[in-house]
Structure 1
Amino acid sequence: MPVRTDHRRRPPARLTAALVAVLAAAGCTGGTEKASDGGTPGRLSVLSLGPVATWDPQRLSAPQDIAFAGRTIIRTLTAHPAGPDAAARREVVGDLATDAGTHDKTLKVWSFTLRDGVTWQDGTPVTCADVRYGVSRSFGTPFATEGLNYPLAYLDIPRKADGTSTYTGPWQGAGQASYDKAVTCKGSTVTFRLSTPMVDFNQVVALPVFAPVKKANDRGAKDPYAVFSSGPYQLEGGWDPNAGGTFVRNPHWDRASDPIRKAGPDAVEYVEGTESQTAVQQVINDEGARKRAVTLDSAPPAMQQHVLSDEGLRKRAINPTGQFVDYLAPSAASGVMRKPEVRKALALATNREGYVTALGGPSAAEPAYSLIGPALPGHTGADVVGAGATGDTARARTELAASGLTLPVRIRVAYRSTPTADKAMAALRNGWEDAGFSVQLQPVEKDYFETMARPGQTRKTDVFWANWAPAWPSASTVIPPLFDSRLNLTANGTGRDLGGFADAKVDREISRISTIADPGAQATAWARLDASLASQGAFVALAQRRSMFIAGTSVTGLSANEALGGFVDLATVGVG
């Protein structure tokens, strides 16, 4: 899944001014009841650096923003439930739809029937036509290039030679007949016809790109922050890209029609432009309105240790697994990495514990041996190479000697450079050099993935650092995007298969697994393929990232949902 992976920054002076403006507005609104601490009863504040690029469902792509919008203003055909049972949250249930959908035996025709009583913020019902129109917008400009492109990828609509759709959205009109065949309405039932079998398509429609839009209220691309809500909250006034906005109760939201959202707060104030360290410190201080606040960005590792060392703060914090798994991808074009003994030696000598310690310790990450994270069906955590958390340099040296190469074996390792990453990669280098490698690190500060995917890069680098996050809780959003050579390898580069891995047998196995109708059997098959790829050295998993969020003392029901990327789940949060 394309994901926003950069650390977002804004000029500190502007941040300070924005934050002061929001706080001043919160304390000076006439005619509103105030709590004894100066805040507003029932109002939750969420603190985030941002920036939020859009609230338009067909333009949303940032996982954190999707997690927020999906619990407050956007309802989708299906959704992941909230609650303490992590395994149950992997499966979707009906949200706008009465259930998780039905499919035919080919897995290429999926239908969803809308439940009664779901309305827009103006009281009009959400209809099947609204769903059709919303999905159609994803093919238009600029939605086709800004949002998630799953309708383009999966709906049975012809494409041009360059991969773009012959359907150009509801405004230009080209290819309308093809869209009308792919997405149809019969009463309150919407049916999607797919170009490929998908057992987990009902998880795809939980994403906002498949959300309904009321045509009469559509402002197109004019206002990326225009919000016409189908959820429990609606935007009051407008959205300030420098400060945020306030979401108040949608008077037409019917709790009986919504099996997902408790919608505890009367209002949700989104304070944008707050550095994570500042936000955490404000909530730790627990003063004024920050007693009813929660952080949406993970606490920096140094502050995580402070929180964990204080019992009172620890009770106000959660530490879920996050989106990303860090891993290494050996280059298939590298002379040394073509040798299986060298790839195995690299895996055996990898000190995951040292890497995790450099990232900030167990609250920031945990050792990983698989690309299928703990939030996904099929996760086992098995160490198929047998390196252990600290690596086995003695076995690694033996494997390296068996390659026939002269030791030390020189390897070039590229990675995205940050102060923390520099320390983490140095920790890995120490283990590799103990095993007989001579390591040249290649730090890249800007445009890392774009640079590493360029044609010819696999001949300049022997090992690539990378990370990946699933688009929904299925290994089908992990293994194919990274290792299906048919998706990645072109004359323009390697895509997200940075090492240029290509194996026709693996490609065929990916196709076979994709047609397995039983979700459990499919998850098991993905796990086997993941283990096979690890054992042959196609990747070396490093660490599963973790996040830490903290809330004020008046916040109740704080939880994270790993099915939503490990972010705070606002479906359960309340204020006391």
Structure 2
Amino acid sequence: MKKSRVLIALVAAVALTASACNANPTPGSGGTATTGGTLHILFDNPTLKEDPAKSQSLAVSAIHLMIRSLTTWKTDPNKPPTVVPDLATDTGTPSDGGKTWTYHLKPGVLYEDGSKITSQDVKYSVERTFAPQLSEGLAYHKTLLVGGENYKGPLTGQDLPSIATPDASTIVFHLNKPYGDWPWIVSMPAFTGVPKSKEDVVHYQDHPLASGPYKVQSAQQGSKIVLVRNKYWDQKTDPVRTALPDSIVLDMALNGEVINQRIIADQGADQAAFSFVTLQAALAPKVLNNPQVKARLAVSPSGALDYLALNTRKAPLNDVNVRKAIEYAIDKNAVQIAAGGPVIGGDIASTLIEPGISGYQKYDLYQAPASGDVAKAKALLATAKFNQTAPLVLISQNDSLHVAVSQAIQASLQKAGIKVTLKPEDDDSWQADSTGGKPNYDLSLSGWLPDFPSAQGSIQPLIGTSEIGNGGFNISQYSNAQVDAAIAAATSQTDLTKAAAQWGALDQQVMQDAPIVPLFYAKNAFLRGSKVTNFYLPPYPPYPSVLTVGLTGK
């Protein structure tokens, strides 16, 4: 899961009406997307991990220009993403109550050398993620596959029997528990094809064998990776990628502010480029006050949940009425302003599930003015017979945004008669104090964005009993047997529509106990050059999809 360790300063609630369809122009793009040209994507990261075993990239990221997984995500500017088949013929057939998942590969899907992608290649790709040398990638499958806890990867000469390949086009996964979100899991980079004969632990990431529309022409980590067309990719088998540019250059190790300054200037090759660095708040006036530049700004409808965790195991916060008093007392308007205001901060939040995630239901159990309800908070404190002997300790990261938000929370609670001491910490100290199992705090300021668009990722990591301590992110120390049972039921539901309804109900069930104060849904904002089209940020994830971007002919 993505921890929002730094509150992201974001820009401009700009209405997005861009279409992902390559037949329609994106407003401000300069025209309709055409086939051809060289697209540049500008990164501040010094390296890009293009080995699928090492990658933590989402399904809309650059690695998926080169590789295809069993499933992928279909995004839309205005709707939550859906999971769709990619290498596979469907999103998976569950059996054994959701503990077994079967996939069949589409006929005619090929690598860049013209060879056929087989189920054995997919099995090997997943197995190699268990090797200690290749263990940096997303790891959800490692705890779900039977025997995964003891498996050390294929480089030892061993295979993982819980991944079966009865023939060259069929692959079957045996899980240790029912898991309805498995179709999302197999959209991750590991679930591509890697032929065993192509294994190169050190250099595979420089040239992964392409199954997507582009292959690596050259790779200089720390500088740039150049992608050119893979002639063996067949668009008829691909439901998502449009493969409009002839080539794509991934420019790395650039200064983030310089990147955005270049896109604002919109000169030369930068007209055919977009920034993969969120626009900095300091540059917001330069963008918002120039209509031509503002037209090239894409803003996510929603984003990570920034929230205040209440330590439910420590007095006085072990009293639900004290926690509810805090829910009412916090001036979310002041918090929003401290984070940059409604334009560069985000929308005020009241739920655990982020907008854009299936299962999100708009509700607010603690209805109050945006500035809070001090009278209601004081009444609840009186019911709890609240008698504070020492200030509550609020820990946060020590950057200016977290400190500003913490100060707004401190002032809010002071009005209700709750004293708070602020304890800003460096990132490592905050991480250790929040997740290390020794919670010497009362309140912790944090943020969260799931790695895949399921409400399971919005709720279970934050409130499941199993996520307390040992690096887990249940920093509220919240434990409720009924909630844990409901989590297990929703997790095992293989009908994603039914699962979404269960997660939505769970959201409200948890908030009745008030272990978390949702503060705001932080937004992301990215700039593109004037020749870039089909560029938008969906409700989730709050990042541009590189799979559909093209260039205008003008």
Q: Please, what TM-score do these two structures have when normalized by structure 1? A: 0.86
Is 1:125 aligned to residue 120 of structure 2?
no
Alpha-carbon shift at residue 462 of structure 1 (Å):
0.6
Is 1:452 aligned to residue 437 of structure 2?
no
Match for residue 489 of structure 1 among 459, 468, 476: 468
Alpha-carbon shift at residue 286 of structure 1 (Å):
0.9
When structure 1 is superposed on structure 2, of 419-428 and 283-292 the one drifting more is 419-428
Match for residue 140 of structure 2 among 117, 138, 150: 150
1:171 match: 155
Change (3 A) 1:465 1:173: same
Instruction: Show CA shifts across 1:152-201 (max 9, x none).
Output: 111122x6xxxxx2221111135x3xx22433342412111111112221
Change (3 A) 1:83 1:519: closer
RCO higher in structure (CA 8 A, sep ≥6): 2
Is 1:302 aligned to residue 282 of structure 2?
yes
1:32 match: none
Distance in 1 (alpha carbons) for counterparts of 2:130 and 2:73 = 25
CA contact (8 A) 2:360 2:504 kept: yes
SS in 1 for 2:261: helix
1:532 match: 509
SS in 1 for 2:40: strand
Distance in 2 (alpha carbons) for counterparts of 1:6 and 1:48 = 18
* 1:132 alignment partner AA: K
List runs of 5+ in structure 2 lacking aligned partners: 9-35
CA contact (8 A) 2:394 2:406 kept: no
1:250 match: 230
CA contact (8 A) 2:219 2:225 kept: yes
Alignment of 1:362-441 (within 5 A): 362-363=342-343, 364-406=345-387, 410-441=391-422
Distance in 2 (alpha carbons) for counterparts of 1:185 and 1:523 = 33
Change (3 A) 1:113 1:561: farther
Match for residue 102 of structure 2 among 111, 120, 124: 111
Distance in 2 (alpha carbons) for counterparts of 1:4 and 1:394 = 32
When the two structures are aligned, how many residues end up with a matched partner?
524
Is 1:97 aligned to residue 88 of structure 2?
yes
CA contact (8 A) 1:82 1:572 kept: no
Alpha-carbon shift at residue 337 of structure 1 (Å):
0.5
Alpha-carbon shift at residue 5 of structure 1 (Å):
4.8
Change (3 A) 1:494 1:389: farther
Alpha-carbon shift at residue 261 of structure 1 (Å):
0.4
Distance in 1 (alpha carbons) for counterparts of 2:332 and 2:46 = 33
Distance in 1 (alpha carbons) for counterparts of 2:369 and 2:96 = 43
Alpha-carbon shift at residue 322 of structure 1 (Å):
5.5
Is 1:568 aligned to residue 550 of structure 2?
no
CA contact (8 A) 2:48 2:221 kept: no
Alpha-carbon shift at residue 302 of structure 1 (Å):
3.2
* 1:59 alignment partner AA: K
CA contact (8 A) 2:71 2:85 kept: yes
Match for residue 49 of structure 1 among 27, 44, 66: 44
Distance in 2 (alpha carbons) for counterparts of 1:122 and 1:224 = 17
Distance in 1 (alpha carbons) for counterparts of 2:39 and 2:283 = 23
Match for residue 518 of structure 2 among 527, 541, 552: 541
Instruction: Show CA shifts across 1:289-310 (max 9, x none).
Output: 1111111111012323442333
CA contact (8 A) 2:7 2:522 kept: no
Match for residue 192 of structure 2 among 194, 201, 211: 211
Instruction: Show CA shifts across 1:492-511 (max 9, x none).
Output: x4621112212222212211
Distance in 1 (alpha carbons) for counterparts of 2:145 and 2:337 = 44
Q: Which runs of 4+ in 1 moved over 6 A?
A: none
Instruction: Show CA shifts across 1:316-335 (max 9, x none).
Output: 11100464211111112321
2:19 match: none
List runs of 5+ in structure 1 lacking aligned partners: 9-40, 160-164
Change (3 A) 1:384 1:538: same
CA contact (8 A) 2:60 2:547 kept: no
Distance in 2 (alpha carbons) for counterparts of 1:106 and 1:380 = 27
Is 1:86 aligned to residue 68 of structure 2?
no
Change (3 A) 1:574 1:134: same
Alignment of 1:462-541 (within 5 A): 462-485=442-465, 487-489=466-468, 493=470, 495-541=472-518
CA contact (8 A) 1:471 1:477 kept: yes
Distance in 1 (alpha carbons) for counterparts of 2:539 and 2:226 = 26
Distance in 1 (alpha carbons) for counterparts of 2:132 and 2:7 = 27
Change (3 A) 1:83 1:506: closer
Distance in 2 (alpha carbons) for counterparts of 1:446 and 1:351 = 26
Match for residue 252 of structure 2 among 239, 261, 272: 272
SS in 2 for 1:103: strand
Instruction: Show CA shifts across 1:450-483 (max 9, x none).
Output: 3322232x2x211111211112111111222222
CA contact (8 A) 1:142 1:221 kept: no
Distance in 2 (alpha carbons) for counterparts of 1:235 and 1:266 = 13
CA contact (8 A) 2:47 2:221 kept: no
Alpha-carbon shift at residue 51 of structure 1 (Å):
3.1
Instruction: Show CA shifts across 1:310-361 (max 9, x none).
Output: 3222221110046421111111232111111210111111222222222222
Alignment of 1:19-38 (within 5 A): none
Alpha-carbon shift at residue 393 of structure 1 (Å):
1.7
CA contact (8 A) 2:302 2:356 kept: no
Alpha-carbon shift at residue 385 of structure 1 (Å):
1.4
Distance in 1 (alpha carbons) for counterparts of 2:115 and 2:217 = 19
Alpha-carbon shift at residue 549 of structure 1 (Å):
0.8
Alpha-carbon shift at residue 409 of structure 1 (Å):
6.7
> What is the CA RMSD across the aligned residues, in angstroms?
2.3
Is 1:76 aligned to residue 69 of structure 2?
yes
% identical equivalent positions: 28
Is 1:361 aligned to residue 341 of structure 2?
yes
SS in 1 for 2:263: helix
Q: Please, what TM-score do these two structures have when normalized by structure 2? A: 0.89
Alpha-carbon shift at residue 147 of structure 1 (Å):
1.3
Change (3 A) 1:6 1:360: closer
Distance in 2 (alpha carbons) for counterparts of 1:322 and 1:296 = 17
Is 1:191 aligned to residue 172 of structure 2?
yes
SS in 2 for 1:68: coil
Alpha-carbon shift at residue 3 of structure 1 (Å):
5.3
Change (3 A) 1:429 1:437: same
* 2:71 alignment partner AA: T
* 1:373 alignment partner AA: E
* 1:509 alignment partner AA: A
Distance in 2 (alpha carbons) for counterparts of 1:100 and 1:79 = 9
Distance in 2 (alpha carbons) for counterparts of 1:501 and 1:494 = 15
Distance in 2 (alpha carbons) for counterparts of 1:112 and 1:362 = 45
Distance in 2 (alpha carbons) for counterparts of 1:426 and 1:284 = 33
1:26 match: none
Match for residue 201 of structure 1 among 182, 193, 202: 182
